[in-house]
Amino acid sequence: MNTWRIAPVWTIESGEAEFVANQTATRAAPLPRIFTVKTQAKPNAENPSQSAANVSRRGFLATAGGVAVAMPFVGMRDGLASENLNEDARESAPLAIARQGSFASGGSVLTSPGTFNPFVNGGPGQTLHGDHCYAQFQIPLDPRELPLVMWHGGGQMGKTWESTTDGREGYQSIFLRRDFSVYVIHQPSGILGWLTAMKSPNVAAIYAYEPTDYVFPEGQVPPAMGGQVGNPVALDDFLKLTKIPIRIQYSDHIPTSPSPYPRLENWRNRVALGTLMVSAINQNGGDASILHLPDIGIFGNTHFSFSDVNNIQIADLLSHWLSEKHLDRR
């Protein structure tokens, strides 16, 4: 794995590649901007009698409907930094940035055998550069102290964070408006946030959206759960995860009991492994937590909650956590 540094940072990461064919079909009305609690009955994710459209977590959105995915969460902005209290007005204002740019880092260099000959194209000694990380960044006019590094999941790309499938602003612009410098990574391999925190002291925190890989100290890896297995790492490396705040967020429609649908069963086992990893971190003095959106009254979200029709609401959860952990300081 190649890592790169840009001052003290925290990373947000999304999990495995799953693509939504039509997120806009679930939107029955514009997202309510009222912060009150509503209760919505959940579809039965374990019921095999449901139609074939419900085999994947994405399919459940057809039954959950647009109202469920837009359920607001009471009082979320009460705990945010004061800069976020007028977010409604700011979200419609033109974006203002101090500077922007891009760079590449890491990667591999392959050299063909032999001595380089400048008179031969593609001859011996020629080099090929690839597998590098590409990052684009935008810096606001009055940036906070810590930038955000947005790292996509496996099989995805930096587009994950830029804009939604129906043209709304993604996390890149949402958090730029909230005065964070934003770095969006495009790299061949995702799902490496844990390893980056072990290799670089510059990672200040990790907020992971439905990760699919989990790490444990060598000799303490739990038994495999279906096709899901934990990854062993040296204890010294694992303990580095106890030095930073960590949050894992899961969306809706993940069964809590065995499911006949393989993809749903995979997610049930991933949540179980994630719960064990969080416990292992906290048992060693860390600060890790898990957030299930349905537990706070938010139903209907997909694997890509940060791109769903209520992505402002989901971004508020992240802003609240940043404020709580004093990671939004100036």
Question: Is the residue at 4 inside a domain?
Answer: no
- Structurally, the chain folds into a number of domains equal to 1
| pLDDT over threshold 70, residue 220 | yes
Question: Is the residue at 157 inside a domain?
Answer: yes
**pLDDT 10s digits, 5-41:** 333 444 455 553 332 223 322 322 233 322 222 333 3
Question: Is the residue at 3 inside a domain?
Answer: no
Question: Is the residue at 20 inside a domain?
Answer: yes
Q: Which residues contact 120 (CB under 8 A, 6 or more apart)?
A: none
> Can you give the pTM of this predicted structure?
0.64
Share the mean pLDDT of the chain.
Answer: 76
CATH classification at residue 65:
3.40.50.1820
pLDDT range class, residue 221, cuts 50, 70, 90: very high
Residues pairing with 218 in the sheet: none
Looking at residue 320, its pLDDT comes to: 96
Question: Is the residue at 270 inside a domain?
Answer: yes
Range with the poorest average pLDDT among 121-130, 169-178, 258-267, 287-296: 121-130
Question: Is the residue at 248 inside a domain?
Answer: yes
In terms of residue numbers, what domain contains 182? Answer: 9-106+133-324
3-class DSSP assignment, residue 72: coil
H helices of 182-327, in order, are 193-199, 235-239, 262-283, 311-324
Question: Is the residue at 126 inside a domain?
Answer: no
| pLDDT over threshold 80, residue 88 | no
d(CA 110, CA 196): 24
Question: Is the residue at 180 inside a domain?
Answer: yes
